[in-house]
Each structure stands twice: as C-alpha cells, then as structure tokens.
Amino acid sequence: MKERAYRLALFSAIEGGTPFWTREINERGAQSVYERLKNNGYDSIKHASVIERVSAFESVTSFQSIEKNGGTFIIPGDQHWPLRVDELESPPIGLIVKGNADVLSNPSLAIVGTRNPTPYGTRIAGDFAAGFVDREWDIVSGGAYGIDSAAHRGALVAEGRTIAVIASGIDLQYPAGNTRLFEEICENGAIVSEVMPGVPAMPHRFLTRNRLIAALSQATLVVEAAFRSGSLRTARDAAELMRPVMAIPGPINSPSSEGCHRLIGERAAELVTSVADAIELISAL
C-alpha cells in the first residue's frame, strides 16, 4: 500500500485527536504503525478495537465509499492540506473534504456559539459573517443549528465561501434539518470531516472537531454561548494555538451571553462590537 492507504487505514480505526496515536504516527510513520498493529506490535487488550478495525480495513472499498459520497481524502503533504492544522497538539491523520478543498487555506474566521441563540445573536452572527466575506475572508463553523447556521448563511447571502467542520461522516448530513444548507456550502466552500462516511456524530466527536474549527481559522469569534458551552472549548483551542479570540457582549442578564462574558472577564477573549473592531484586533496581533 501507499502512504495514503496506510493513513486511511489508521484514519478509519482511530478516533481523531488521540494523543498516543498522534505521537506514534509522528515518530514511526503511518506505514510502521499500520504494520505494528497488524503484527501484534501493540497491546492486544488495550488497543483491541483499533487492531480489529485495522485488520478489517479494505483499501479499495474505503476509498470508494468516500468517492461515492462526493468526498476526497487528503493527507499531510497534499496540495490542499491546510498547514494550519499541523499546529495542533494532535493534528488529524487525514481529512475527508466534500466541496472545494482549495478554500481550506484561505484567510478565515471561525464563528461559533450556542445552538439556541436569541434573535440578537442570530443577527450578529450573520452580520459578522457577511462583513468578513466582504473583506475576502471565508467563514468556518460547525454546521449545527443556531449560531453556526446563522454564520454559514450570512456568508452565503453575502456571496462568500464557508466551511462546515462536522462531527459525523460526510454522508449523514447531521443535523438533518441543515441538509439544504450543506448543499449550498459545498457549491463554493467545503464540508470537512475527521471520520469515515457512515460514522455517526457522538458527543465526544463534537469536542474533537472543535479543535479543527479553531485550527482551520486565523481567528475565532464567539457570538453567544452559555456559561458551560462547547463554543468555549473552541475558543480555548484557538487560544492554545495563539490565535486571536474575540467575543460579542450581550445583555448582562442573558443566559445566552454568560459564556461570552466569562471569556471577556477572564481575559481569554477580546470584546468586539463591530466588524471593524475585529479586523483591527486581528491585524494588530
């Protein structure tokens, strides 16, 4: 097999963002790790599930599954590989991209927030997305309901490009209510996944995909978020990468803005109130 096939075998067997396997692949190389898994080079009890999946891997079938669903499997060193993700502590083994892979390395802003926004949050997310698109930036978000959807739609309405990083396979269109939105995203932008087609979205996969949202973007904006929110994880992932993190203030009695106020209060995010503010902040760093 070639490097791409070795990486796809590992990609299909290992959960994204696993530090142990990241170190193994970085130190030994994909081929060596694959062969060690096949030849009892790892603890057969501790790593039973990974060994089982690698043993069952069929290269031709796996590549066909990706292509059948309109995706492309990219790996480090490829023309379209986004170098920004290599800065992660646990970078992806590979990525499945549906749509225009050219956009993955464009200047981009992540816009994230709650799935249950107020009308204020929805409007702000769309306005900021459109404002950055007007300045020739792309918008990255997670394809979920709420702020994510508002950000994607704001970019599309402004005739810009947007990237959805999802927690399921590219064929599952999760959430189902955003099927049409995903189709529109793929016309000029892209959907990115760190799991094989057919793999469902699970709670832990939303957390690991959040690091990709942060890594694909040059800066992250949190629009509305509860006090405990996955969006705060994305913000902290961005901060660990030394990327600018910004937050939109809201009413002091709004539960939907508690997470943003928390980030601002902890000096983990800069307060911004306009697109011009955000652009100036990013440019200064």
* pLDDT digit string, tens, across residues 41-50: 999 999 999 9
Long-range CB pairs of 79-85, under 8 A, 24+ apart, other chains included: 80/104, 80/105, 82/215, 82/216, 84/215, 84/216, 84/217, 84/218, 85/212, 85/215, 85/216
Residue 1 — very low, low, confident or very high, per pLDDT cuts 50/70/90? confident
Q: pLDDT at position 183, please?
A: 96
Residue 166 parent element (H or E)? strand 162-166
The rounded mean pLDDT for the chain is 95
Span(s) in the chain for CATH 3.40.50.450:
102-284
Long-range CB pairs of 153-157, under 8 A, 24+ apart, other chains included: 153/126, 153/129, 153/181, 154/125, 154/126, 154/127, 154/128, 154/129, 154/130, 155/129, 155/130, 155/189, 156/184, 156/185, 157/126, 157/130
* Beta-ladder partners of 140: 110, 163
Those residues whose C-beta lies under 8 Å from the C-beta of residue 49, and which sit 6 or more positions away, are 13
As a whole number of angstroms, the distance between CA 112 and CA 142 comes to 7
Torsion of CA 136, 182, 184, 189, to 10 degrees: 30
Q: What is the largest CA-CA distance in the chain?
A: 59
As a whole number of angstroms, the distance between CA 270 and CA 264 comes to 6
Mean pLDDT of 190-211: 94
Residue 59 — very low, low, confident or very high, per pLDDT cuts 50/70/90? very high
- Fold designation for 102-284: Rossmann fold (3.40.50)
As a whole number of angstroms, the distance between CA 172 and CA 213 comes to 19
Residue 230 predicted with pLDDT over 90: no
Question: Is 83 exposed, middle or buried, given 0-12, 13-18 or 19+ CB atoms closer than 10 A?
Answer: exposed
| 3 state SS of 246 | strand
Residue 174 predicted with pLDDT over 90: no
As a whole number of angstroms, the distance between CA 55 and CA 39 comes to 10
Mean pLDDT of 106-130: 97
Strands 245-247 and 108-112: unpaired
Distances in Å between the alpha carbon of 168 and those of 72, 94, 220?
A: 15, 15, 22
Residue 228 — very low, low, confident or very high, per pLDDT cuts 50/70/90? confident
* pLDDT digit string, tens, across residues 261-272: 999 999 999 999
Mean pLDDT of 25-42: 95
φ/ψ of 194, rounded to 5, equals -110, 15
Q: pLDDT at position 10, please?
A: 98
As a whole number of angstroms, the distance between CA 12 and CA 14 comes to 6
As a whole number of angstroms, the distance between CA 29 and CA 9 comes to 13
Percentage of the chain beyond pLDDT 90 is 93
